Structure 1
Amino acid sequence: MNPSERVSGTELGCFLRACRNRLTPAEVGLTAGSGLRRTPGLRREELATLAGISMDYYNRLERGKETRPSPSVVDALAAALRLEETESEHLRILAVRAARTSPEPPAAPGRVVRPGVELLLESMRPHPAHVVSRTGDLLAHNPGGLRLLAGIESWPVKQRNVARYLFLHPSAREVFADWGNQLRGCVAFLRALAGTDPDAPDLTTLVGELLLKSPEFARLWARYDVKGHSHGRKTFRHPDVGEFTLGFQSMRLPDTQGQNVVVYHAEPDTPEYDAMVLLDMAASEPPATVDNGFTKKE
């Protein structure tokens, strides 16, 4: 993978090609046939047949020469490719963007954390909580919300980013019990963002850095997986309190250009809750209400 890869380009064609390459003929009820196949997955003509469109039209779509597929064609391709709902929606977004003659300029990311939100983070203790930008920059936190990502406090404030931590910080592999799944989910989230704002400077800068510094990121980025996750459970192997599993919930903050507050939780009177209390006590960073390097407003 060339580290200088742009996030934009013909995203629709690239996504179609990646999805086609990871789908085998057997998965869609086709026989592989005789002879050596030069493609890892479906051939273009096979996918075109399954979607009920001409091979020439599909070729133009994948090569970026056709940029106005109808909704029915997009849905037929999603069905033929066996896409999940999140992936199908991503394909629809890419098709809409491809049809625009004058793409809208990317929106500026929200980096201003409102004081009321910071007070909310503090009130959530001992539940670890933090605010992240749309690309995962750590903008504000309560003590546990920072300490949960063990070692990230050693980085300068403006370098603290969840994706950067996962791929580049030496502690991340040990902190997350399912580190590999965390990597895949992180890249899939950034890929989904690239479908809506492919030329946004905050995204292109982060992706460019990770492509250059992390072969694992480059490998996963080339897969074009897309996925969002707003809740679930994560298991941590933390140097302060040992291994514990917490639920998490991510919630979009309105009027912030993409900020999310992420809160980790556990039932009271459980070992997991006790681990949160210990983590909060062990946290050496000051509360999130102090100046964290970003401008605030009322």
Structure 2
Amino acid sequence: MRPTLRALLESLEPAPAVLLNRMGDIVAWTQGYERYARPLGLLDGDPPNMMRYLFTDDRSRAVFPGWDRVADEQVAHLRNESSLYDPHIAVLADELTAAGASFSDRLAAVPAPPSRFGLEVVEHPEAGRLRLSFETLVLADEGRRLVVHLPADQATATALDRLNGRRPGALRAVSG
């Protein structure tokens, strides 16, 4: 990873921020993301992979009340940011297709462009319900995307502060 990209990621602390490659591998993250994602099981794989988590880990449906939307978004990223003819993508697609129709049906559907920003609701085992605004910055030349999560309300800001061992108010809620 480029040193400037690493420095950018580190400057986003304590916000949960993550760098994903075109296959959904989670390749780098902030400590804030570690504290947020580890209890969810998002970092359990080797390497951790958002697509595998969504389509093969039963916890994902409990974590994301809007699981269908999150799954649609991730498949849209896969389709729009990579070629299904790429051998690495093909292996991942075969693995997830074997896991069930929830992936293969989405892959066969006409893809919509992925959202680059929005609101994600997460049921966190330690922090409760989190409402996170997200922004996605695409690094087109590298096939990577940086996703930054910010609290969408004061309750989420307080919960993330607790996860990070910080005093309440360290993270500011954003709206609109």
Aligned to 1:261: 146
Q: Is residue 153 of structure 1 aligned with residue 76 of structure 2? A: no
Rounded to whole Å, the distance in 2 between the matches of 1:124 and 1:217 is 32
AA aligned to 1:243 is: R
TM norm structure 2: 0.82
Query: Which residue of structure 1 lines up, in the alignment, with residue 27 of structure 2?
Result: 139
Q: CA deviation at 1:254?
A: 5.7
* 1:207 aligned residue: 93
Question: What do you get for the CA RMSD once the two structures are aligned?
Answer: 2.2
> Which has the larger Rg?
1
Structure 1 distance, partners of 2:134, 2:32, is 13
Q: CA deviation at 1:186?
A: 1.9
Find the counterpart in structure 2 of residue 273 from structure 1: 157
Whether the 8 Å contact between 2:81 and 2:143 is mirrored in structure 1 is: no
Q: How does 1:124-273 map to 2 (within 5 A)?
A: 124-149=12-37, 150-156=40-46, 158=47, 160-193=48-81, 197-253=83-139, 255=141, 257-266=142-151, 270-273=154-157
- What is the TM-score normalised by the length of structure 1? 0.51
Structure 2 contact 22–77 (Cα < 8 Å) conserved: no
Higher strand share: 2
CA contact (8 A) 1:118 1:141 kept: no
Q: Tell me the distance in 2 between the aligned counterparts of 1:118 and 1:129.
A: 12
For structure 1, the residue ranges without an aligned partner over 5 or more in a row are 1-112, 283-298
Identity %: 29
2:2 matches 1:117: no
Would the aligned equivalents of 1:131 and 1:261 in 2 still touch at CA under 8 Å?
yes
- In 2, are the aligned partners of 1:144 and 1:280 still within 8 Å (CA)? yes
- What residue number does 2:173 align with? none
Q: In the comparison of the two structures, how many residue pairs are matched?
A: 164
Q: Deviations over 1:105-158 (max 9, x none)?
A: xxxxxxxx22332232222122100111022110000123234331133322x2
